[in-house]
Structure 1
Amino acid sequence: MAHLFHADRVTYHLKQSPIPEFAWHTSERLAELTGSKHLTFDIRSLDPGKYSYPYHFHRNAEEIFVILEGSALLRTPEGHQELLAGDIAFFEMGPSGAHQLFNHTEQPCKYLDIRTNMGLDVCEYPDSGKINVLPYQEIYESSSQVDYFKGEGQVADKWAAKERGKENE
């Protein structure tokens, strides 16, 4: 079944973060309305002088922006470039796909944001050193990263303690 979304009938709501520079208007979760299993997509409108999400990349999602109206500056690991109406930007998984938009104009910038959704993603924020486990919104500082085997020593003692606990039940 085809699902059609007419631009003049899409409703938006403001997403304002605690940091005033991060604010955008977003459509209803269009993908949810379709029952899509592997794509998430929304239409966003970025007001003049505002930034999209903090500079980030995904470990388990690809993302595409299609600029529908207006223009914005795109930040990537290669630098900054202007995106104009009709432009398409693809962001691969991993650090080379890091991105952020800034509306440097006096007009809103509307864009279609399409992402793959494989159920679980890890989003990293190079500017602030954070890691976000999605969709749970569990956010950690990457500076707390530890060795895989930290705290895993004395395995036999842990097994014995577990067995003693069962005997006391």
Structure 2
Amino acid sequence: MTMPYLAQPDQQQKLEWLDGGQFAVLLDSAATDGQLTVGRFTVDKGEAPPYHMHTREDEVFMLLKGSALLWCDDQQMELTEGGIVFLPRNVPHGYRITSDTADLLMMCTPAGIEGMFRHAGRDMATPRPEGYEISPDLLAEAADLHGQIVVGPPR
């Protein structure tokens, strides 16, 4: 069997993301020939992206550790440890972490969404500028460039 791509944890790009959380790029467009993005979020209580939808990719995420509230269209659901959700493109969604910490695995197909995280996030291999934060304008710009539509504020 041939293994076309392998990256150990110390080889995976880690980005500072919303509310001081971390997003690790596990597989990206280059590693999967554009077929798949896989990332892992390590976040704290209250972390919540804007209510949004993807226009280019379908998303699956699994809550490896923790708990969250999930909104999809007009439905609110609770997601508990080990829960998994499929979010087709063009369906508005968002979440809010309700546990002290959470660990989420995200998979999107086709690949490309990692560009948004790289555009707005900070590579943690570089020094952190004093007072660093992801501004709403930078997040909106990154979302727009990568086919994400911000529908509303975090819930």
Provide the TM-score with structure 2 as the length reference: 0.63
In structure 2, the residue matched to 1:40 is 37
Could you tell me whether the CA contact under 8 Å between 1:73 and 1:104 is conserved in 2? yes
Q: CA deviation at 1:49?
A: 1.8
- Kindly indicate whether residue 18 of structure 2 is the aligned counterpart of residue 25 of structure 1: no
Could you tell me whether the CA contact under 8 Å between 1:39 and 1:117 is conserved in 2? yes
CA 7–87 in structure 1, closer or farther in 2 if over 3 Å, else same: farther
In structure 2, the residue matched to 1:114 is 107
% identical equivalent positions: 25
Flag structure 2 segments of 5+ consecutive residues without an equivalent.
Answer: 113-144
Could you tell me whether the CA contact under 8 Å between 1:61 and 1:121 is conserved in 2? no
Query: One-letter code of the match for 2:149?
Result: E
Q: Give the 5 Å matches for 1:115-134.
A: 115-117=108-110, 122-127=147-152
> Which has the higher Rg, Structure 1 or Structure 2?
1
2:94 alignment partner, one of 81, 85, 100: 100
Q: Which has the higher contact order (CA 8 A, sep 6+)?
A: 2
Deviations 1:128-150, CA, capped at 9 Å, x for gaps: 6xxxxxxxxxxxxxxxxxxxxxx
1: CA distance between counterparts of 2:11 and 2:66?
A: 19
Could you tell me whether the CA contact under 8 Å between 1:62 and 1:116 is conserved in 2? yes
Q: Over aligned residues, Cα RMSD in angstroms?
A: 2.9
Query: One-letter code of the match for 1:71?
Result: S
Provide the TM-score with structure 1 as the length reference: 0.58
Q: Kindly report structure 1 stretches of 4+ aligned residues shifted beyond 4 Å.
A: 2-13, 118-121
Deviations 1:110-129, CA, capped at 9 Å, x for gaps: 1101111365952111116x
